Amino acid sequence: MSDAQKKFYLTTPIYYVNARPHIGHAYTTIAADVIARRQRTLLGESNVWFLTGTDEHGQKVQRSAHAAGITPQQFTDEVSAQFRALWQRMGITYDDYIRTTEPRHVRGVQKLFSELYSRGHIYLDTYTGQYSVGEEMFVDGPPGTIGPDGKPTETVTEENFYFRLSAFQGQLINLIESGEFCVEPEARRNEVLSFLRGNVNQATDSDAPGPDPQTWVGASQKSAENTIAYSAKGTSYLPGALKDLSISRSSFDWGIPVPEPAASTSQKKHVIYVWLDALANYMTALGYGSENPDDIARLQKFWPADLHLVGKEIIRFHCVYWPAFLLAAGLPLPKKVQAHGWLLFEESKMSKSRGNIVRTETILDAFGSLKPKPVDWPGAPLSDEYWKHEQDLFASDVLRYFLLREISFGQDGSFSFDALVQRYNSDLANGYGNLVSRALSMIEKNLEGTHPELHLPATPTLAEAAQKLWNSASTLISSIADDFTGIRLTRVLTSISAFITEVDGFFSLSTPWKLAKSDAPQAREDLRAVLAVTAESIRIITALLYPILPYSTAKVWAQLGLGDIEAAAKNGGLNHLTWGGLKPGTKLGPLGPIFPRADKGLIQIMTNAEQNPIAPAPSKLVDEKTTHTAPPPSESTHPGAAPRTSSLPHDNPGTQVGASSAPVPELAKPPAPHQEAPASGIFATAAAATDPSQENASITIDDFVKIDLRVAKVLVAERIPKADKLLRLEVDLGYEKRQILSGIAQWYTPEDLIGRRIIIVANLAPRKMRGLESHGMLLAASHGKDGKPILATFAETDEIELGSRLS
Ligand code: MSP
């Protein structure tokens, strides 16, 4: 099948409307948006369908509405609108937004129920059990059992419709074991298989703080016969361990009514269990249950889903119940369910019930402020609304980058404002942004803003380094393709980040600012070559980063002189990347800062905003009117679709934002370029000190440039209580300040250190010691038998700017 004929349908969970959106919800939606954008660059716009929405039925919603003194419909209208307004602010490019209270969904769910009923998979029975209202599920245990939401369960006796889930045990095990129905990551697949096999005690992820698998309704109890069966792959399971599932409720009415003929078999009025209702959204949104030919065609084109992206706590609903419903209805199964971990805040899952949520709006507002509206803009005047949206999209990029880079996709990870600011400064302002600004401003100044022809420098060492960069770029392009396919989103970013460091190292090594001062023909030639190689590397980095940073890469693309990145994404211009795609003679666009540096004050601003949240405006619904007060979406493929482009149509905003003539926010001051050769052997001495066996091992320049060595000044040094060996330092890198912990307290007093200019490894992953984070490492030589560290420092008389890079 050619790329053009393939399709990709991906979904997020539909979010409960009982809580306002927070960054936990944004996390899944961001990941889905990244995948959708990447898929569109590969398959084209029309072959990708990205669905999100809200889950609006159930007792929990009914009770919340009651507490708020409004009807459930009013309540859901309001919260659902908040979700949509947030996705709009963030430039999320969903193709459709489904609400479970919409008629198209209600109709589809009733059709699915009827299908299951007519095929004999549903029967009526009575059940008394413990019900967790918070999680909308029955749990095993005596009255008063603590449910998965941490609250006591309620005893519920109900005549219910049951789904014959038990009949699908063996089939589901086979489908998952064979990979035909793919569950990722492996820990989650094992968890689901354990549950299905009746082997719950082997659930692999014992560290997961989520619902205890043993409390799941239908959790394993040995079957009466205690017989063992075997799957097609030969693994054993206990038949009967998977119990039938109650799929209706009659104790409340905020849900989709059970349809006829099933309904009249009971004395009571039943609504369909909220999870059967909710899961069906993935098909009803495409058109399941509709007679309309367009809906039928869409359903045929896109079902089955290629990817359901979910948080790990709802894996069972997606990997046991949902496939069983589909098998019973004779419908194809989704190809893959991918679970990610949780965002933790202060060590526990961020959730409304724990009261430890962080609102996305706080981050959008704070980072948006780094791009104040220019007072005087050449050309058309800018509306406040237009600029606000620019700010939102910029800030949304920051959050996208942070969440995917900082939290290993699939694992749990902590969120903190400190880490957000730190990561932004180190990777975006000082890393990518600084590289772009240094390289492009040299092209502007020295080559009249025109890209030179791509060729290797004449100087052999530079030619070798450039060739290596070229090789690395090719390796990067293919590894990123694999990582996107495997949804290893954090790896995508760590690989790009390593390449940025490599390019930065190449740039520093080549000292183009020195070459520019020389009139010698070889120096001129080298200068052109170095700038061409760097610009080409930036082009590749930018194309690869596009799905993650759609707004900022659009700005860089325009500065490179390549025009509109969204257009390139649409017409295959970001696909099949190869080294050498930047045409010589291309003129740069207007330059300007992409990632203004954030100072630490932003941390306090965000902390304060979370402590004193401004109450939401009452009933600010996103109806046609509200969505259109923001600048209009450029294009959409469906009435429910979000704006497709990340930037808004406005006289080529991509190039205007960076216009050098416009008063733009304070230009990020790059760390001083390399100024002088470091004292030779500093690094080698430090490395040898820790591992003498490495003394003679050689490393390549590629290895070396990955290490970001910088000059820093010690501002604060202090002992850490109860830690004899550790000192806590605050160092100034010129472009930022950071905390470093160092085990030198036996040899240096704090007074010895304050004011000294030292060398640090600036791109070391943060490490926690004694509850404090260390962001870097000091370089020291090891002296004598006891290995006394002697710090590598600069003399008072050395003229060296803080933040200078050593190479
Ligand atoms: N309504 C159900 C899903 C039905 S899908 C057919 C539901 N809704 S929810 O509002 O609770 O959202 C759950 C999803 O939101 C999680 O699966 C996850 O994708 C996301 N997250 C909510 N809180 C989160 C964190 N703290 N961390 C990471 N993701 C989080 O369950």
Q: Which residue has the higher pLDDT, 378 or 220?
A: 378
Task: Give me ligand 1 centre to Cα 433, in Å.
Answer: 33
Task: Give me ligand 1 centre to Cα 248, in Å.
Answer: 22
Which atom of ligand 1 is nearest to 18's Cα?
A: 10
Across 272-303, b (16+ Cβ under 10 Å) vs e yields bbbbbbbbbbbbbbbbbbbeeeebeebbeebb
Answer yes or no: are the C-beta atoms of 426 and 433 closer than 8 Å.
no
| Mean pLDDT over the full length of the chain | 84
Same domain, 134 and 202: no
pLDDT for the residue 644: 55
Q: Which residue has the higher pLDDT, 202 or 629?
A: 202
Judge whether 633 lies within some domain.
no
Q: How far is Cα 667 from Cα 563, in angstroms, rounded to an integer?
A: 23
Same domain, 34 and 117: yes
Domain final residue, candidates 546, 570, 594: 570
pLDDT at residue 587 greater than cutoff 50: yes
User: What sections of 673-797 are H helices per DSSP?
Assistant: 682-690, 701-705, 750-753
Among 25, 29, 352, 399, which is best to mutate for testing ligand 1, by the most ligand atoms less than 8 A from CB? Answer: 25
How far is Cα of residue 8 from the mean position of the Cα atoms in its chain?
A: 19
Which atom of ligand 1 is nearest to 314's Cα?
A: 17
Lowest mean pLDDT among 64-78, 175-189, 469-483, 726-740: 726-740
Same domain, 117 and 13: yes
pLDDT for the residue 755: 86
Number of domains in the chain: 4
Count CB-CB contacts under 10 A for residue 318. 24
Count CB-CB contacts under 10 A for residue 683. 18
pLDDT for the residue 463: 96
pLDDT at residue 74 greater than cutoff 80: yes
Q: How far is Cα 20 from Cα 610, in angstroms, rounded to an integer?
A: 14
Among 27, 29, 276, 487, which is best to mutate for testing ligand 1, by the most ligand atoms less than 8 A from CB? Answer: 27
Answer yes or no: are the C-beta atoms of 248 and 109 closer than 8 Å.
no
Same domain, 96 and 233: no
> At 737, is the secondary structure helix, strand, or coil?
strand
Judge whether 787 lies within some domain.
yes
CATH number, domain at 433?
Answer: 1.10.730.10
Same domain, 158 and 226: no
The whole-number average pLDDT for the span 165-177 is 97
pTM of the model: 0.76
Domain final residue, candidates 570, 594, 610: 570
Same domain, 422 and 546: yes
The whole-number average pLDDT for the span 358-387 is 87
Judge whether 644 lies within some domain.
no
Judge whether 473 lies within some domain.
yes
Answer yes or no: are the C-beta atoms of 566 and 555 closer than 8 Å.
no
Q: pLDDT > 70: what percent of the chain? A: 83
| pLDDT tens by residue, 456-478 | 999 999 999 999 999 999 999 99
The whole-number average pLDDT for the span 61-69 is 90
Pocket of ligand 1 (CB under 6 A): 13-16, 24-25, 27-28, 55, 278-279, 281, 310-311, 314, 342-343, 349-351
Output the CA torsion 260→263→264→266 (10° steps). Answer: 160
| pLDDT tens by residue, 752-801 | 888 889 999 988 877 777 777 788 889 888 877 777 888 898 877 777 87
pLDDT for the residue 643: 53
Same domain, 326 and 397: no
Same domain, 521 and 420: yes
CATH number, domain at 718?
Answer: 2.40.50.140
pLDDT for the residue 699: 63
Instruction: Give 177-181 contacts, CB < 8 A, sequence gap 24+.
Output: 177/231, 177/232, 177/233, 177/235, 178/232, 178/233, 180/333, 181/319, 181/323, 181/333, 181/334, 181/335, 181/336, 181/337
Write the residue with the smallest CA distance to atom 19 of ligand 1. Answer: 311
| pLDDT tens by residue, 656-693 | 222 222 322 322 222 332 322 222 222 222 222 333 33
Judge whether 112 lies within some domain.
yes
pLDDT for the residue 632: 33
The residue behind tokens 């060996």 is: 725
Among 28, 51, 274, 415, which is best to mutate for testing ligand 1, by the most ligand atoms less than 8 A from CB? Answer: 28
Same domain, 264 and 393: no
pLDDT at residue 630 greater than cutoff 70: no
Same domain, 146 and 178: no
Q: Which residue has the higher pLDDT, 362 or 770?
A: 362
Judge whether 751 lies within some domain.
yes
Write the residue with the smallest CA distance to atom 23 of ligand 1. Answer: 24
CATH number, domain at 265?
Answer: 3.40.50.620
Among 310, 318, 319, which is best to mutate for testing ligand 1, by the most ligand atoms less than 8 A from CB? Answer: 310
Judge whether 576 lies within some domain.
no
Q: How far is Cα 741 from Cα 769, in angstroms, rounded to an integer?
A: 8
Q: Retrieve residue 456's tokens.
A: 């290797």
Lowest mean pLDDT among 77-86, 160-169, 653-662: 653-662
pLDDT for the residue 718: 87
Q: Which residue has the higher pLDDT, 586 or 220?
A: 586
Same domain, 226 and 295: no
Domain final residue, candidates 180, 210, 237: 237
Residues present in the chain in total:
807
In sign, the C-alpha dihedral spanning 115, 116, 119, 123 is negative
Write the residue with the smallest CA distance to atom 29 of ligand 1. Answer: 24
Task: Give me ligand 1 centre to Cα 99, in Å.
Answer: 15
DSSP 575-615: SS--TT-S-TTPBP-----SSPPPPTHHHHHHHHHHHSPPP
779: domain range? 684-794
The whole-number average pLDDT for the span 433-453 is 97
Same domain, 329 and 429: no
Judge whether 621 lies within some domain.
no
Task: Give me ligand 1 centre to Cα 480, in Å.
Answer: 27
Task: Give me ligand 1 centre to Cα 349, in Å.
Answer: 11
Task: Give me ligand 1 centre to Cα 311, in Å.
Answer: 6
Which atom of ligand 1 is nearest to 322's Cα?
A: 6
